[in-house]
Chains A and B, each alone.
Chain A
């Protein structure tokens, strides 16, 4: 899932500027699961903004709404009226949600209430960790299911570097060395031959380096009106 964190209230307040009517929009999917921008968090941010604006004497009318999935235009239709009445929309969706809102409502001023951080999973209650960097050409089949792009600090394809020590990454002892994990996994499965060959340089075109990406599936597209 996409993992995000709420921005500090101070930053959120400064992003809302002098808008009189603010609509806080939560999202019911990833950011609900990671406790950053679901209905519960939207209610708290709404109350906090209201309170803070009251205290500083420039009271704002703050309302809230949570959609099931902020990253798809069609899910945003249900809040059309509320958006129209707001001077500013504070999105508690991930970066995709913020942009979906801004695209669906081109006249609305939309600002982010979250910092979208990574694609990852919950390790335990309250702890999330990165797993994938969406490089566009998955090599997990070579690396025992451990991603060196997202999880090695230097994105090495022929690791580990010289800084790997006691299972930890040189960057800090909080980070597990991805290449130690790759080695251990492949060794336990008797598949070390997979990393004995030199992995050639990656073609980063499938990653962000090729420019913004888009997937077109002709088999799924609807027929264009007027064309047969």
Chain B
């Protein structure tokens, strides 16, 4: 891999993590239409604040511009994309074909996901695929890169796609005690980095990370802690009560509620909520930096990309480092 100077993919995210910097990634949600301008605007908000931005793949099973298309547009704007890919919508043929296309377009990072069930989205009548699961997808993308082989074992003749391969894990999913072990399975599959589900329950996440560190998994893969700003107390409650696998402690909901107390003006109240949401998010990032095994933060400001810059700035993480040096190994 002399062409990549020892890097697996040569992506900016990989370079930052290999250099030992606390990495920052964010999320860019593509539009529910074919407007490239939306991507340009959102990319402008994130550029310079993060190493790379995840481009979601039909998130929550709602049809949106493809992560590859939107990722290629982001790249043109100078924002490095992390293409998300779910196992819900394509089989191994579709996924590998897309991986070749994405690489040819210049995409270098991928996040392998199972995908939210289609019954949550706007096409609940759809047939789901799940030919493979996310662990197997990680293995497949790593195999393309390291073995130069398709999933079937056939050699790739010509340019081999070399991605920096990520996976997600939900520390708050059940069974809680199996989660660090499952993370270990993803690392074993070859995941270079992990982005976690949004963390609001910091003590529980600490417990999770302690187990991860005991197992040595943090040495096998870079773990980016997922965080996200809350907009309103209502959103916090919704996540607490309605979203399977989310853990939002009551203190967080109360903190949001308190922020708007006594404010009559609607606009001012909304602004106070948002400000508190940003503060909570910044606080959590500070706490994440103290936890052993956490290599970075992944900021999920869903349909609120404007929030990313103040969060990164507030957490003292601006300007972002630039790494050009060759890694030692």
How many chain B residues touch A (Cβ–Cβ < 8 Å)? Answer: 34
- The complex places the Cα of A166 from the Cα of B173 at a distance, in Å, of 8
A156 touches B130 (CB 8 A): yes
B174 touches A154 (CB 8 A): no
Closest CB in chain A relative to B278 CB, distance in Å: 25
Q: Which residue of B lies closest to A177 (CB)?
A: B174
User: Is A137 in contact with chain B by the CB < 8 A criterion?
Assistant: no
> Which of B117, B133, B135, B169 is in CB contact (< 8 Å) with A163?
B117
A158 touches B136 (CB 8 A): yes
Enumerate B153-207 residues with CB–CB distance to A below 8 Å: 168-170, 173-175, 178, 181-182, 185, 188-189, 197
Q: Which residue of A lies closest to B246 (CB)?
A: A165
B133 touches A157 (CB 8 A): yes
A163 touches B173 (CB 8 A): yes
- The complex places the Cα of A140 from the Cα of B156 at a distance, in Å, of 35
- The complex places the Cα of A135 from the Cα of B174 at a distance, in Å, of 27
B114 touches A161 (CB 8 A): yes
Q: A154-B114, A196-B181, A196-B185 are in contact. Are A160 and B174 (CB under 8 A)?
A: yes
Closest CB in chain A relative to B224 CB, distance in Å: 15
A162 touches B185 (CB 8 A): no
Enumerate B218-250 residues with CB–CB distance to A below 8 Å: 244-245
A163 touches B116 (CB 8 A): yes
Enumerate A143-180 residues with CB–CB distance to B below 8 Å: 153-168, 170-172, 177, 180
B92 touches A162 (CB 8 A): no
What are 12 A-to-B residue pairs whose CB atoms are below 8 Å? Answer: A153-B117, A154-B88, A154-B133, A155-B130, A157-B133, A160-B173, A162-B114, A162-B170, A162-B173, A162-B245, A164-B174, A199-B136
A161 touches B173 (CB 8 A): yes
> Which of A161, A162, A183, A196 is in CB contact (< 8 Å) with B175?
A183
Closest CB in chain B relative to A163 CB, distance in Å: 5
Interfacial chain A residues near B88, Cβ < 8 Å: 154
Q: What string of 1s and 0s marks CB contacts (under 8 Å) between B122-154 and chain A?
A: 000000101111111001100000000001000
Interfacial chain B residues near A127, Cβ < 8 Å: none
Interfacial chain A residues near B117, Cβ < 8 Å: 153-154, 163, 170-171
> Which of B139, B151, B185, B245 is in CB contact (< 8 Å) with A165?
B245
User: Is A226 in contact with chain B by the CB < 8 A criterion?
Assistant: no
20 extra interchain contacts, Cβ-Cβ under 8 A, other than A201-B131, A201-B151? A154-B88, A154-B130, A154-B133, A158-B136, A158-B182, A160-B173, A160-B174, A162-B197, A162-B245, A163-B117, A163-B245, A164-B173, A165-B173, A165-B244, A180-B174, A198-B135, A198-B139, A200-B136, A201-B132, A201-B140
Closest CB in chain A relative to B120 CB, distance in Å: 8
- The complex places the Cα of A54 from the Cα of B175 at a distance, in Å, of 59
Task: List residues of A whose CB falls within 8 A of some B CB.
Answer: 153-168, 170-172, 177, 180, 183-184, 196, 198-202, 204
User: Is B5 in contact with chain A by the CB < 8 A criterion?
Assistant: no
Task: List residues of B whose CB falls within 8 A of some A CB.
Answer: 87-88, 92, 114-117, 119, 128, 130-136, 139-140, 151, 168-170, 173-175, 178, 181-182, 185, 188-189, 197, 244-245
> Which of B133, B140, B168, B188 is in CB contact (< 8 Å) with A159?
B133
Interfacial chain B residues near A153, Cβ < 8 Å: 117
Closest CB in chain B relative to A136 CB, distance in Å: 15
Closest CB in chain B relative to A191 CB, distance in Å: 14
Interfacial chain A residues near B135, Cβ < 8 Å: 158, 198
- The complex places the Cα of A11 from the Cα of B29 at a distance, in Å, of 43
B245 touches A183 (CB 8 A): no
B185 touches A201 (CB 8 A): no
Interfacial chain A residues near B116, Cβ < 8 Å: 163, 170
Q: Which residue of A lies closest to B196 (CB)?
A: A162
Q: Which residue of A lies closest to B171 (CB)?
A: A162
Closest CB in chain B relative to A187 CB, distance in Å: 8
- The complex places the Cα of A163 from the Cα of B188 at a distance, in Å, of 22
- The complex places the Cα of A202 from the Cα of B185 at a distance, in Å, of 17
B185 touches A156 (CB 8 A): no
- The complex places the Cα of A202 from the Cα of B135 at a distance, in Å, of 13
Closest CB in chain B relative to A24 CB, distance in Å: 31
